[in-house]
């Protein structure tokens, strides 16, 4: 208990340090560029305090729950030796967390409006809803597939640079033939999929797996899942845009 | 009172995000693996901390830093503000936007330093590499990448260069670096690109991109407002690969026989 408190206190200090750059940048610009006082100083201070407390709690919980759970599951699944369950787990984790992601919902609704403005779909609530739902399905599917590919890569020892660079080359080529309006949405959807809760879990999964499969090094083989999870949605959404056209 | 209300709202919101994941993990553990989590109490407490932490973190940002950041992005891209610096010239050229570049660099760097997902990945990288890669230096490398990326992305919006040129050129650099950089840094560098565009950075740089594409004549928010996220994901890959190359180079120069140990001070976050 006492050790936990010390750990939490240390996290709080680190969080305070993490936040200093933002506070410095914002205050410097307010004072020297705009030459105006930084709004309500008290409320700014209170907000900063909340951010520091939140970040410390998050990091503390990360070590207590997200990291151990992700790694435990990876170890257990690797020991079980069932590739089917391992891939199912990877797919469900990617698909489920992405489909439930609030940031994705916002982007998908926005995308539906853009598509309606460009006359790709009708300007009715049903058509907008369907489009937004389909887009979320596509992105969630993409992240699920990305994690499956990433886990397979760790098992089979595919080259990550080849996968990533090949993937982005493909994206650049497809971007040139995809409809202009979907390009922005596609690139954005790659960014919103990797949320703050998913990242630690997925990282722990990759590293746990790489440390339990013989001949794999957690450093060179454990990372890469996030990179795939950011790449795949761009590709899938671009193709979705071409098909919908 | 309103603050308490929004705290409750955000904590509930983050609970709604985390709960399905937690349930999925528990169910999978029970049904497929058929094991009880022996330390489930510790894990449950951890999840509660994650939920409260994320909730408080977001309230704090939403209440103070985000509105201020958005306001600043608006003010910086306001033609009135830009003109007063350029000496009242009617036509603005891309150099007149220098405060935008500086702000983009600073805000990209500073928000990335506070990005929780990046802290998580850096902690893991430090543990796995046995401290060779320190949490602190990895985060600085990523933050520099995001800062430069966002700044360059702003220049692109103002100059109107097609986004593909930069992305294609950037990935060309990544390909060359991948061939040259130490093998252990490569997967981590690729992951760094994906982590950066998360809770803190995206809302602020999106505001900057949208503000800019509205303010600059001939740009459309729909077509030009987005590129910043792509830039913020690409440049950290380059900067982290460069960090790996520098570390390897320094190790080779200083002590050819003692391996490439990084002597930088361990961070508090490291386990």
Tens-digit pLDDT profile for residues B32-57: 777 766 777 888 898 999 999 888 88
**Least CB–CB distance from A226: residue in B107, B194, B230:** B194
- Residue A178 near residue A242, CB atoms below 8 Å: yes
**Least CB–CB distance from B33: residue in A14, A76, A181:** A76
What is d(CA B266, CA B249) in angstroms, rounded to the nearest whole number?
A: 20
- Band (B263; pLDDT cuts 50, 70, 90): very low
Which chain A residues touch B227 with a CB distance below 8 Å?
184, 187
- Band (B83; pLDDT cuts 50, 70, 90): low
What is d(CA A204, CA A73) in angstroms, rounded to the nearest whole number?
A: 9
Residue-level pLDDT at A40: 65
Q: Are residue B185 and residue B92 in the same domain, yes or no?
A: yes
pLDDT beyond 70 at B68: yes
Q: Which residues of A54-74 are buried (b: 16+ CB within 10 A; e: fewer)?
A: bbbbbbbbbbbbbbbbbbbbb
Q: What tokens does B76 get? A: 């910086």
Residue-level pLDDT at B243: 93
Residue-level pLDDT at B232: 86
Q: What tokens does A16 get? A: 């305070």
CA B162, distance to chain mean position in Å, is: 23
Q: Are residue B172 and residue B93 in the same domain, yes or no?
A: yes
pLDDT beyond 50 at B260: no
- The string of DSSP letters for B7-33 reads HHHHHHHHHHHHHHHHHHHHHHIIIII
Which chain B residues touch A55 with a CB distance below 8 Å?
53, 57, 114, 116, 119
- CB contact (8 A) between residue A57 and residue B49: yes
- Band (B235; pLDDT cuts 50, 70, 90): very high
- Residue B57 near residue A54, CB atoms below 8 Å: yes
Beta strands (DSSP E) in B116-266 are none
pLDDT beyond 50 at B29: yes
Q: What's the sign of the alpha-carbon dihedral B160, B161, B162, B164?
A: negative
Which chain B residues touch A150 with a CB distance below 8 Å?
none
Q: Are residue B12 and residue B92 in the same domain, yes or no?
A: no
What is d(CA B106, CA A22) in angstroms, rounded to the nearest whole number?
A: 8
What is d(CA B72, CA B198) in angstroms, rounded to the nearest whole number?
A: 20
Q: Are residue B154 and residue B20 in the same domain, yes or no?
A: no
Please report, for residues A66, B50, B81, B200, the alpha-carbon distance to residue A196 in angstroms, rounded to integers and kept in the order given. 11, 10, 36, 10
Q: Is residue B238 situated within a structural domain? A: yes
Q: Is residue B263 situated within a structural domain? A: no
Q: Is residue B142 situated within a structural domain? A: yes
pLDDT beyond 50 at B265: no
- CB contact (8 A) between residue B68 and residue A39: yes
> How confident is the prediction along chain A (245 residues), in pLDDT tens digits per residue?
677 788 888 888 888 888 888 888 877 887 777 776 655 667 778 888 888 898 899 888 888 888 888 888 888 888 887 888 889 989 998 888 888 777 777 777 877 877 787 777 777 888 888 888 898 899 999 999 999 999 999 998 888 999 998 998 898 889 888 887 788 778 777 776 777 778 888 899 899 999 888 888 888 888 999 999 989 999 999 998 898 77
Residue-level pLDDT at B245: 93
Please report, for residues A54, A90, A130, B80, B187, the alpha-carbon distance to residue B50 in angstroms, rounded to integers and kept in the order given. 9, 22, 33, 44, 27
Residue-level pLDDT at B262: 42
| Residue B182 DSSP one-character state | -
Beta strands (DSSP E) in B122-212 are none
* Nearest C-alpha in A relative to B75: A34
* Nearest C-alpha in B relative to A64: B46
Q: Are residue B104 and residue B220 in the same domain, yes or no?
A: yes
Q: How many CB pairs under 8 A join A and B?
A: 316
Q: Are residue B130 and residue B86 in the same domain, yes or no?
A: yes
Residue A101 region, left (φ>0) first, then alpha (ψ -120 to 50), else beta?
Answer: beta
User: Where in chain A are the domains?
Assistant: 1-61, 81-244
Among A3, A24, A45, A61, the residue to mutate for chain B (most B Cβ within 10 A): A61
Q: Are residue B59 and residue B102 in the same domain, yes or no?
A: no
For the ranges B89-98, B152-161, B197-206, B223-232, the maximum mean pLDDT occurs at B152-161
Residue-level pLDDT at B271: 32
What is d(CA B265, CA B249) in angstroms, rounded to the nearest whole number?
A: 19
Among A28, A196, A221, the residue to mutate for chain B (most B Cβ within 10 A): A196
Q: Are residue B229 and residue B109 in the same domain, yes or no?
A: yes
- Band (B267; pLDDT cuts 50, 70, 90): very low
Residue-level pLDDT at A44: 75
- CB contact (8 A) between residue A197 and residue B54: yes
Q: What tokens does A182 get? A: 């979907």
What ipTM was assigned to the predicted interfaces of this complex? Answer: 0.83
Q: Which residues of B216-243 are buried (b: 16+ CB within 10 A; e: fewer)?
A: beebeebebbbbbbbbbbbbbbbbbbbb
- Band (B259; pLDDT cuts 50, 70, 90): very low
Q: Are residue B137 and residue B20 in the same domain, yes or no?
A: no
What is d(CA A113, CA A119) in angstroms, rounded to the nearest whole number?
A: 10
pTM: predicted TM-score of the whole model, two decimal places: 0.84
What is d(CA B47, CA B35) in angstroms, rounded to the nearest whole number?
A: 19
Among B47, B116, B267, the residue to mutate for chain A (most A Cβ within 10 A): B116
- Counting beta carbons within 10 angstroms of the beta carbon of residue B253, is it exposed (0 to 12), middle (13 to 18) or buried (19 or more)? exposed
pLDDT beyond 70 at B18: yes
Residue-level pLDDT at B187: 93
When the pLDDT of each residue in chain B is averaged and rounded to a whole number, the result is 80
Residue-level pLDDT at B86: 56
- Band (B82; pLDDT cuts 50, 70, 90): low
Q: What's the sign of the alpha-carbon dihedral B68, A102, B27, A74?
A: negative
Which is nearest to B172 in space by CA: B104, B228, B78, B241?
Answer: B241
Of the residues B17, B38, B64, the one at which a domain ends: B64
What is d(CA A95, CA A145) in angstroms, rounded to the nearest whole number?
A: 8
- Band (B268; pLDDT cuts 50, 70, 90): very low
- Band (B1; pLDDT cuts 50, 70, 90): low
Q: Is residue B208 situated within a structural domain? A: yes
pLDDT beyond 90 at B209: no
- CB contact (8 A) between residue A54 and residue B195: no
What is d(CA B20, CA B43) in angstroms, rounded to the nearest whole number?
A: 15
- CB contact (8 A) between residue B164 and residue A60: no
Q: Is residue B69 situated within a structural domain? A: no
Which is nearest to A230 in space by CA: B202, B176, B21, B166?
Answer: B202
- Band (B92; pLDDT cuts 50, 70, 90): low
- The string of DSSP letters for A26-84 reads HHHIIIIIS-S--S-HHHHHHHHHHHHHHHHHHHHHIIIIIHHHHHHHHHHHHHHT-HH
How many distinct structural domains can be found in chain B? 2
- CB contact (8 A) between residue A46 and residue B33: no
Range of the domain at B10: 1-64
Q: Is residue B267 situated within a structural domain? A: no
What is d(CA A149, CA A159) in angstroms, rounded to the nearest whole number?
A: 11
What is d(CA B233, CA A191) in angstroms, rounded to the nearest whole number?
A: 8
- CB contact (8 A) between residue B43 and residue A68: yes
What is d(CA A121, CA A128) in angstroms, rounded to the nearest whole number?
A: 8
Q: Are residue B210 and residue B87 in the same domain, yes or no?
A: yes
- The string of DSSP letters for A78-107 reads HHHT-HHHHHHHHHHHHHHHHHT-HHHHHH
Residue-level pLDDT at B197: 66
């Amino acid at each position: 208990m006492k050790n936990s408190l010390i750990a939490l206190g240390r996290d709080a200090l680190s969080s305070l340090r993490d936040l200093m750059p933002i506070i410095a940048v914002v205050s410097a610009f307010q004072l020297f560029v705009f030459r105006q006082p930084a709004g309500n100083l008290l409320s700014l201070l209170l907000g900063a305090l909340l951010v520091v407390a939140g970040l410390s709690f998050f990091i503390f919980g990360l070590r207590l729950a997200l990291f151990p759970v992700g790694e435990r599951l990876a170890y257990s699944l690797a020991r079980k030796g069932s590739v089917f369950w391992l891939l199912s787990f990877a797919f469900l984790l990617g698909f489920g967390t992405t489909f439930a992601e609030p940031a994705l919902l916002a982007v998908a609704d926005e995308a539906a409006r853009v598509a309606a403005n460009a006359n790709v779909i009708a300007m009715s609530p049903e058509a907008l809803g369907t489009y937004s739902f389909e887009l979320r399905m596509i992105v969630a599917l993409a992240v699920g597939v990305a994690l499956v590919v990433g886990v397979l890569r760790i098992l089979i020892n595919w080259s990550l640079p080849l996968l990533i660079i090949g993937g982005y080359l493909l994206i650049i080529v497809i971007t040139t033939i995809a409809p202009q309006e979907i390009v922005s949405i596609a690139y954005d959807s790659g960014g919103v999929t990797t949320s703050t809760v998913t990242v630690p879990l997925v990282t722990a999964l990759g590293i746990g797996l790489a440390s339990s499969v013989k001949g794999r090094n957690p450093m060179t083989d454990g990372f890469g899942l996030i990179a795939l999870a950011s790449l795949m949605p761009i590709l899938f959404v671009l193709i979705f845009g071409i098909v919908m056209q | 009172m309103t603050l308490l209300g929004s705290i409750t709202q955000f904590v509930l919101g983050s609970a709604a995000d985390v709960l399905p994941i937690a349930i999925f993990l528990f169910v999978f553990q029970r049904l497929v693996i058929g094991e009880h989590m022996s330390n489930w109490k510790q894990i449950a407490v951890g999840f509660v901390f994650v939920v409260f932490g994320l909730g408080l973190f977001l309230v704090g940002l939403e209440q103070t830093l985000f509105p201020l950041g958005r306001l600043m992005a608006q003010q910086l891209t306001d033609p009135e503000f830009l003109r007063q610096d350029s000496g009242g010239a009617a036509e603005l050229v891309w150099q007149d936007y220098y405060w935008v570049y500086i702000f983009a660099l600073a805000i990209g760097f500073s928000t990335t330093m506070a990005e929780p997902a990046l802290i998580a990945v850096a902690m893991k990288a430090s543990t796995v590499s046995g401290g060779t890669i320190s949490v602190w230096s990895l985060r600085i490398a990523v933050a520099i990448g995001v800062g430069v990326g966002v700044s360059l992305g702003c220049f692109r919006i103002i100059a109107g260069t097609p986004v593909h040129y930069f992305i294609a050129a950037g990935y060309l650099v990544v390909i060359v670096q991948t061939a040259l950089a130490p093998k252990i840094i490569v997967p981590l560098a690729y992951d760094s690109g994906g982590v950066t565009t998360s809770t803190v950075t995206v809302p602020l740089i999106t505001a900057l991109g949208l503000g800019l594409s509205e303010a600059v004549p001939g740009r459309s928010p729909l077509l030009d407002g987005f590129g910043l996220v792509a830039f913020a994901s690409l440049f950290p890959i380059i900067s982290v690969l460069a960090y790996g190359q520098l570390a390897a180079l320094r190790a080779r120069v200083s002590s050819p026989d003692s391996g490439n140990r990084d002597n930088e001070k361990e961070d508090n976050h490291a386990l």
